[in-house]
Amino acid sequence: MILRLLPLALFVGVGFFLYRGLSLDPTELPSPLIGKPAPEFVAAPLEREPSDASAEAVKTALGEDGFDSAGMRGEPWLLNVWASWCGPCIEEHPQLVAFARASDVPVVGLNYKDDPADAKAWLVRHGDPFATVLSDAKGAVGLDYGVYGVPETFLIGPDGTVRWKHVGPMDESVLRDDLLPLVATMVGGEGL
Amino acid sequence: MTPRKHRCLRTFLLAATLARGLHAFPGMPGGIVADASAAENVVAFERDADRVRYERLLHDYRCLKCQNQSLADSGASLAADLRVQIHDRVVEGDDDAAIDDYLVSRYGDFVRYRPRFAEKTAVLWLGPFALLAIGLGAGFVMARRGTRTDAAAHAAVSAAGPSERGRLEEARRLLGGTGAVDVPTVAGAAPRGPPADALP
């Protein structure tokens, strides 16, 4: 009797895992950097002056040699990896613009494997939510952050650790349900 | 086909179907390993040992953009970047563990093309063998059950007299050999209709 039920039990068991697998996306990999210190880097900004006058941390970080990520300590910040040749970046851009308006958290753009002239033209056309945009023409910074596709977004805490990563374009629900609540816990002083 | 052969064939097909699943896992025997690189890898090595090591390492890591390809096969720009990184580290003399650490600390466990055997991946590695064992076990038990009923039927037929045997064989043939014909062992007694307890 047990033996008769065995094929059915096996089927149900395997079927359960296959069903779960339908909703898993192998292109969205969990980042091994979560909870670890954000890799420090120095990169050249597209524009010498930060576009957002109120981003103090960004002004500190922008030194003689360029943008030094270590200078962002003390404040949470968003690192958004994008490129002018990236289609989904256009989808996500309104969310970034909305976020930059709604929040005091500076949004730093990492222009990945792109031409600075193309990048500037793209920002003029689609809007500019970035406190500053850094040029990563060879993708070296991206390599350290484990970037394998564009767009990707990192939330880095005031202590310099990576708190959150999102692969792919962010839509409204990601902003509302994931990013903004997380930012609220950090800005409230608990992250310091 | 006699019932015994039919059952054996079914068992075999079941086992073969389960065994095919083995091919699905990367790194398993019979899995697909491409020898030729899709991309042009023009890299300079002073030592041959370095080149050999480099080629081997490229097959050990996954391109995260084209996730079913190793770094050796993928034409994606990310794969090209990682090939350069591995080349530089091999030339500098980093050992395999250091290179592995460099990649996994940035990209996670998935960057290894062949999953490590650890508690987390034990189900992945042992699962197909476990399923195969269950399938073979179940098939074996079912086949033996069939053999036993077969044997009982054969014994009953040979115990009957010659004319009985003829009629019993005829009856078995008509029934397609699927069920055990429960026949009385007393010679000369003709079975009247299907006995009530003839079901297997």
Residue-wise pLDDT for B114-166, tens only, equals: 888 888 888 888 988 998 998 898 888 888 887 777 777 777 766 766 677 78
The whole-model pTM stands at 0.69
**Order of strands, edge to edge, in the sheet holding A107-112?**
A62-63, A66-68, A42-45, A132-136, A107-112, A77-82, A152-156, A162-167
pLDDT-derived band at B180 (thresholds 50, 70, 90) equals: low
ipTM greater than cut 0.85: no
Residues in chain A closer than 8 A to B141 (CB atoms): 3
Cβ <8 Å between B106 and A139: no
Judge whether A53 is closer than 8 Å to chain B, CB to CB: no
Judge whether A113 is closer than 8 Å to chain B, CB to CB: yes
User: A–B: how many Cβ contacts below 8 A?
Assistant: 42
What are the φ/ψ torsions at residue B131 (nearest 5 degrees)?
Answer: -60, -40
CA B142, distance to chain mean position in Å, is 20
Residues in chain A closer than 8 A to B106 (CB atoms): 32-33, 143-146
Tell me the residue length of chain A: 192
Which tokens is A104 given? 């005091």
Cis before A151 (ω within 30): yes
CA distance linking residue B49 with residue B65, whole number of Å: 29
pLDDT of residue A59: 84
A 59-88 residues with CB < 8 A to B: none
Please name the residue of chain A whose CA is at the shortest distance from the CA of residue B111: A29
- State how far residue B104 is from chain A, nearest Cα, in angstroms: 8
Cβ <8 Å between A10 and B108: no
Question: Coil, helix or strand for B109?
Answer: helix
